[in-house]
Amino acid sequence: MKIKVINPNTTLSMTAKIGEAAASVAAPGTEVVAVSPRMGPVSIEGHYDEAISAIGVIDEVRRGEEEGFDGYLIACFDDPGLAAAREIAKGPVVGIAEAAMHTASYISGGFTVVATLHRSRIILEHLARAYGMDHKCRKVRTTSLAVLDLEVEGSDAQSVIFEECRRAIAEDGSDCIVLGCAGMADLVAAIHKEVGVPVIDGVTAGVKVLEGLIGLGVTTSRLGGYAHPLKKTYIGSMAQYQPD
Amino acid sequence: MKIKVINPNTTLSMTAKIGEAAASVAAPGTEVVAVSPRMGPVSIEGHYDEAISAIGVIDEVRRGEEEGFDGYLIACFDDPGLAAAREIAKGPVVGIAEAAMHTASYISGGFTVVATLHRSRIILEHLARAYGMDHKCRKVRTTSLAVLDLEVEGSDAQSVIFEECRRAIAEDGSDCIVLGCAGMADLVAAIHKEVGVPVIDGVTAGVKVLEGLIGLGVTTSRLGGYAHPLKKTYIGSMAQYQPD
Amino acid sequence: MKIKVINPNTTLSMTAKIGEAAASVAAPGTEVVAVSPRMGPVSIEGHYDEAISAIGVIDEVRRGEEEGFDGYLIACFDDPGLAAAREIAKGPVVGIAEAAMHTASYISGGFTVVATLHRSRIILEHLARAYGMDHKCRKVRTTSLAVLDLEVEGSDAQSVIFEECRRAIAEDGSDCIVLGCAGMADLVAAIHKEVGVPVIDGVTAGVKVLEGLIGLGVTTSRLGGYAHPLKKTYIGSMAQYQPD
Amino acid sequence: MKIKVINPNTTLSMTAKIGEAAASVAAPGTEVVAVSPRMGPVSIEGHYDEAISAIGVIDEVRRGEEEGFDGYLIACFDDPGLAAAREIAKGPVVGIAEAAMHTASYISGGFTVVATLHRSRIILEHLARAYGMDHKCRKVRTTSLAVLDLEVEGSDAQSVIFEECRRAIAEDGSDCIVLGCAGMADLVAAIHKEVGVPVIDGVTAGVKVLEGLIGLGVTTSRLGGYAHPLKKTYIGSMAQYQPD
Amino acid sequence: MKIKVINPNTTLSMTAKIGEAAASVAAPGTEVVAVSPRMGPVSIEGHYDEAISAIGVIDEVRRGEEEGFDGYLIACFDDPGLAAAREIAKGPVVGIAEAAMHTASYISGGFTVVATLHRSRIILEHLARAYGMDHKCRKVRTTSLAVLDLEVEGSDAQSVIFEECRRAIAEDGSDCIVLGCAGMADLVAAIHKEVGVPVIDGVTAGVKVLEGLIGLGVTTSRLGGYAHPLKKTYIGSMAQYQPD
Amino acid sequence: MKIKVINPNTTLSMTAKIGEAAASVAAPGTEVVAVSPRMGPVSIEGHYDEAISAIGVIDEVRRGEEEGFDGYLIACFDDPGLAAAREIAKGPVVGIAEAAMHTASYISGGFTVVATLHRSRIILEHLARAYGMDHKCRKVRTTSLAVLDLEVEGSDAQSVIFEECRRAIAEDGSDCIVLGCAGMADLVAAIHKEVGVPVIDGVTAGVKVLEGLIGLGVTTSRLGGYAHPLKKTYIGSMAQYQPD
């Protein structure tokens, strides 16, 4: 099976890191292709970046349908464009936030999400609630780290994240860490070693969720709210996204 | 004060209707300008249309900031682009779904949302839950009507809507109707006459909410999740939306 | 339009302050009359005071109906008598707690209510839950301040409130302050200056909500739970409140 | 122990019926006194009646404290004045709605409340939610019956109630009936015979809850939201209720 | 009436203590028999112990049915085997966690559960949520105490519990303590003296709840999810528990 | 990897069917072994059967640990013994109800669970709520079918299930069917053909979830509520289950 992992931001070093993480857990026979869109922000920090990045996600899913992918993983913890992508992809589409939180729920009595900038907190709290995971997510911890700080060699990003993970265990009563940014996908082992509890990264979790769905032969229901977009006219710069 | 009412779809007959509804309740001194974006779908029916339409909303808010608007109303019941718009507008931004549901909560013990196509149901249920109105919203009723059926003279749109409104009263135990599409803004009086309970349209409700916020001198908090987008590079076709 | 702002307690200095706040945001053409009931407690601190004060609220609404008011604002953050008042007023009735919380939800990702005595905490938490705002209200902060401490020149009331507002920002992750007592209506500007986030006072917010509802021409639904009281006998000292 | 059962309405035939029901389950050594207040409505149907009736409840609790009662049961399914009464009574105070719903939760997988007029539905739904019983209460069924219809010999009240109870079993998937009006306290056996499931009446349930609390030697906490009312001035017709 | 109090663990010193507590509040005419099962763990700390202990609870209820008991109290704060026991007992069955939490809700604005080992926290949080008491239960506080530490003369168990109770008042805003282990049943008076708020122990609370249910003549509904187990074959070591 | 699929009931024809379903979706390299416990009920219908069956589940997990399994699937839709099994298994443990519901949430806007006997309804509703899936699960539909009716050639079981599935689509507004019994695992294709929406069976879904977790190298957190059982004495017939 072929899975397209879409890093909705356009920072290719992060895409490479995400691709490596995804490939590291892919089953034999699973081909993982990690891409960044041709357009959009270099990082996604807030609702505005997120709304813009959805176009890139859509663009990559549309191209992916022609390229013959069996499923898609949206590799930003805001899950941008997730519902829209479900309407246009034949195969299943999964976001890393939903994948990480549902996956954590199988092995944890209560987890903490450790994310980047404080401004993302309400986005992640909203997602936890929308996914029904608010009773499992004891806290969303945010930091002073920008997403791209995670790409800088020698930054203190790792130590900041470690500190929040330690506090998650000590103060939140959590028994599991969920990494709240795709850019942390390479930190799983180090954090696990540091805090000794399971660490769930949405990129790797999402690959396994997709392998599962594709393996089951199920895909997004076409009956209800995720039916294919209706044929209609799109004008102006968005005409290119007009549904077929 | 100047309020920009953005119909996120590009059907100008609907924009005109929305503009008339908005103007009909505007206080003396409130200037209402109703627009459609320069790009996007002719109607918004589902998550895909919604995600695309957010670009048009953003485009209009960005232009509006240069034009000197004091606040914005997003006149589609999916509230597309609402959170993103809040980050870039100096003044407050309100969506018609949130305006309608909160407004109804002041005068009703339980309301039914009557909307267009069945595929919108999960979007509206999600909004009700996100806004904390799920205990007030007894039911989201959807129909076989497309949004643009509302623009066709002589269609049976009105009779279909009336029928759902009657069922809302008879079967849901609701005491108030919330119109689940900006394209129904001209039906308030007729429906009220038909079913005898308050009918809340988000376009008119949203104008009053905005007048209230602007009159109070308050706007979106800049401290947390709605802070102005961070400066960063946007590439490709989205470069034009790069935050300042 | 004529709006009656009812301070449910009988401390006239507070009524004057409330009236000033209400008038300061009233639109041209809105006449605001602030009153205290002819009976009841000098301050409302707890369920008992609240239950008694509901009689005063009812008394003023009944008088108001004869005086020709178009709507009513109940200016105590416990919203005493709100549902009862809705049944007897032709126009809409709004409580300052509900007005403040719904208003804050348009501009905030999460707010803290800062109130007076600790004993009010469960009342305000109950209201937040009843209004569907418990996911938006990050914390109800209470203090050692009695309501009437706010009326005393030279008390440390302001500094106590400022301290809680600072903690709301620093500890609760809130981006907005909701003032949990009508007696704080004169502190909006000072607190905003101190903490730099939007500060919502229910008195001013409530005036704008009422202007909105009256401007829309909608009022409490008569079909369901807010129908006019049924004709029936009331005996003893309550005979005077027998419904017509 | 001495328990005062307060029928908050002033219809003495109902008070007598409530008193009989209460006495029928009282343990040896429990003295039950059923009273109606000296003031207030002949029946409680809606928020307005309820707010007024709270004064009567308060009046009876204040008198009860002088008469030496050990606890109080508020015998109207709206639980009027419950929180206020808790602040002024030395012993515990229980409402029949809370008593009935909590009691049903021990023996039922899901119950239906069968009440009187439709206008009470939102009150009872609000109580179920406030008590945390909304997941146990599958439905609140209301009828065209006025409260006092239950007092009329030869009315069809019983058959209307029976029909709703049958529908509760057949349509709601409930396995238990909760009677939503104190005036139904004499119907327990007949309904149980009719529908074959447990039938919980709040009057009898409330007596047992009170016997339990008093037997445990516990009473309302004085630390928090139910502390004794603060000393303060009450003016006008409410001066008589000024806290000591 | 005869009530069987089942301590689901097999530590007889604890059973004796539980029996004393139960007897201390039993009404005249209530015969309380406290037992431990013939099989199972010496203490219940976690889900595994709990699942095993359910067999002992079932065994005792089955024997109890032959011995002629009118009701059963499951005296472990995890409420092990509660739903199963309801299906096989003719009379009502109550767990001490549900009894304690519902009882506390009548006298408290918000309580803290103080329990033993940290590993029990998610069990108790789950119960609070399942019983609808999560909005009343402000916090579940756990400690480093094993259950059997409570049985050791001269241990620091009491001082550890006192400390958590003090913190519950100071930090959680709670006005009531719920004891989260049957082994604390003898500490009620001492803790109450220490912290000055009501202290609810599930053993004593549960006896009163059972007296209430039996006094009302109601028992578990047989219509729905608690119907008697269907006749069927059980094999192997569980054959002895085959339903009749 | 080796996965043990435990059918908690002792009907071997069902175990065989479950094993076939599990094997049909297993990835290359996944060895699936389906077993029934050596003790327990022939079918699980209600809380009592469920509590007893947990012993069989525990017994099989304990044996599985010696046999070298990497993970366990509990193949009864009540998820009996799930939390207990998590404490004693080194690898992850998943229940088919949680697997099915979380899996459905990735591809559906709202699903209906179609199960066997009506008595199971409250168990499944409780699970949906406990897993945070109550907002996704529009309805739990139960029938007059006993579990073992599914094993009888020529019974009308299939037509009864089909009818409920059709009603789920037509009446519940669901876009996906979740099969509420492991014994339906062979009906996926037929139901999908009948109703045209995705059909999720927990047995196959659970195999993929386990493959995912094991593939990620994560297992149940040992820090909190799922820590290994503490060493302690178990007496009587349960002594054999004493933790090591």
What's the CATH code of the domain at A214? 3.40.50.12500
- What residue in B sits closest to F108 (Cα-Cα)? B122
| Of A43, A222, A210, A219, the residue nearest A117 (C-alpha) | A43
Query: Within a 10 A sphere around the Cβ of F194, how many other Cβ atoms?
Result: 18
| Of F81, F72, F66, F86, the residue nearest F220 (C-alpha) | F86
pLDDT at F155: 84
C-interface mutation test, from A120, A125, A127, A135, most C Cβ less than 10 A away: A125
Chains E and B in direct contact, meaning 3 or more beta-carbon pairs closer than 8 angstroms: no
pLDDT exceeds cutoff 90 at E173: yes
CB F105 within 8 A of CB A218: no
Q: Are β-strands E176-179 and E111-117 bridged in parallel, bridged antiparallel, or unpaired?
A: parallel
Contact call for D40 and C224, based on CB within 8 A: no
One domain, residues F112 and F182: yes
At F14, the amino acid letter reads: M
Subunits next to F (3 or more Cβ pairs <8 Å) are A, B, D, E
pLDDT (tens, 9 = 90+) of chain F, 244 residues, equals 999 999 999 999 999 999 999 999 999 999 999 999 999 999 999 999 999 999 999 999 999 999 999 999 999 999 999 999 999 999 999 999 999 999 999 999 999 999 999 999 999 999 999 999 999 999 999 999 999 999 888 888 999 999 999 999 999 999 999 999 999 999 999 999 999 999 999 999 999 999 999 999 999 999 989 999 999 999 999 999 999 8
CA C163 vs CA C104, C119, C143, C152, C240: distances in Å: 20, 19, 10, 18, 46
Query: How many domains does one find in chain A?
Result: 2
Query: Within a 10 A sphere around the Cβ of B240, how many other Cβ atoms?
Result: 11
Subunits next to E (3 or more Cβ pairs <8 Å) are A, C, D, F
Residues of A contacting chain C (CB within 8 angstroms)? 118, 121-122, 125, 129
> Given the structure tokens 């006094």, which residue do they identify?
E215
User: E153 CA to chain F: closest CA distance, Å?
Assistant: 20
One domain, residues C129 and C198: yes
- What residue in B sits closest to A224 (Cα-Cα)? B119
User: D95 CA to chain B: closest CA distance, Å?
Assistant: 23
Alpha-helix runs per DSSP H in D94-237 = 96-107, 121-130, 157-172, 188-195, 202-216
From CA C49, how far away is CA E110, in angstroms rounded? 20
Q: Which residues of B touch F110 (CB under 8 A)?
A: 122, 125
Q: Is B10 helix (H, G, I), strand (E, B) or coil?
A: coil
From CA B55, how far away is CA B37, in angstroms rounded? 9
Of D27, D132, D220, the CB nearest to E132: D132
B64 contacts: CB under 8 Å, gap ≥ 6: B4, B6, B72, B89
At B107, the amino acid letter reads: I
**Mean pLDDT to the nearest integer, E119-148:** 96
pLDDT at E153: 84
- What residue in B sits closest to F111 (Cα-Cα)? B122
From CA D47, how far away is CA C54, in angstroms rounded? 11
One domain, residues C102 and C184: yes
From CA E87, how far away is CA E230, in angstroms rounded? 10
**Residue C106 is encoded by which pair of tokens?**
């348009």
User: E122 CA to chain A: closest CA distance, Å?
Assistant: 6
pLDDT exceeds cutoff 90 at C166: yes
One domain, residues D101 and D198: yes
Q: Which residues of F touch B122 (CB under 8 A)?
A: 109-110
What distance, in Å, lies between the first and last C-alpha atoms of chain E? 25
pLDDT exceeds cutoff 90 at C44: yes
Higher pLDDT, F150 or E71: E71
Which long-range contacts (C-beta less than 8 Å, at least 24 apart) are formed by C160-166? C161/C114, C161/C187, C161/C191, C162/C190, C162/C191, C162/C194, C162/C195, C164/C112, C164/C114, C165/C112, C165/C114, C165/C191, C165/C194, C165/C195, C165/C199, C166/C194, C166/C195
pLDDT digits (tens, 9 = 90+) for D107-150: 999 999 999 999 999 999 999 999 999 999 999 999 999 999 98
D-interface mutation test, from B138, B175, B176, B197, most D Cβ less than 10 A away: B175
User: E225 CA to chain D: closest CA distance, Å?
Assistant: 6
**Residue A165 is encoded by which pair of tokens?**
């993970």
**Residue D11 is encoded by which pair of tokens?**
């219809």
Query: How many CA atoms lie within 13 Å of D157's alpha carbon, on the beta-carbon side?
Result: 21
Domain residues for the domain of B122 are: 98-202
One domain, residues F81 and F120: no
Contact call for D122 and B110, based on CB within 8 A: yes
Contact call for D173 and F129, based on CB within 8 A: no
User: A179 CA to chain E: closest CA distance, Å?
Assistant: 22
pLDDT (tens, 9 = 90+) of chain B, 244 residues, equals 999 999 999 999 999 999 999 999 999 999 999 999 999 999 999 999 999 999 999 999 999 999 999 999 999 999 999 999 999 999 999 999 999 999 999 999 999 999 999 999 999 999 999 999 999 999 999 999 999 998 888 888 999 999 999 999 999 999 999 999 999 999 999 999 999 999 999 999 999 999 999 999 999 999 989 999 999 999 999 999 999 8
Contact call for A103 and F220, based on CB within 8 A: no
pLDDT digits (tens, 9 = 90+) for D215-225: 999 999 999 89
User: E48 CA to chain F: closest CA distance, Å?
Assistant: 4
Contact call for B122 and F135, based on CB within 8 A: no
Mean pLDDT of chain C: 97
CB D98 within 8 A of CB D81: no
Contact call for C102 and B102, based on CB within 8 A: yes
Distance from chain centroid for Cα E180: 9
In degrees and rounded to multiples of 5, residue E163 shows phi and psi of -60, -45
One domain, residues E102 and E89: no
Contact call for E107 and D221, based on CB within 8 A: yes
CA E42 vs CA D64, E16, E52, E56, F232: distances in Å: 49, 14, 11, 12, 7
Contact call for C42 and D235, based on CB within 8 A: yes
Of A46, A51, A224, the CB nearest to B58: A51
One domain, residues A170 and A219: no
CA A190 vs CA A182, A184, A199, D226, F89: distances in Å: 15, 11, 10, 51, 24
One domain, residues B131 and B215: no
Residues of D contacting chain B (CB within 8 angstroms)? 118, 121-122, 129
CA A46 vs CA A143, B60, B71: distances in Å: 14, 19, 20
- What residue in C sits closest to A124 (Cα-Cα)? C109
One domain, residues C85 and C113: no
Contact call for C48 and D238, based on CB within 8 A: no
In degrees and rounded to multiples of 5, residue C141 shows phi and psi of -100, 125
CB B175 within 8 A of CB B141: no
One domain, residues F6 and F77: yes
Chains A and D in direct contact, meaning 3 or more beta-carbon pairs closer than 8 angstroms: no
The total number of residues written for chain A in this structure? 244
One domain, residues A221 and A188: no
From CA F182, how far away is CA F150, in angstroms rounded? 10
One domain, residues C190 and C232: no
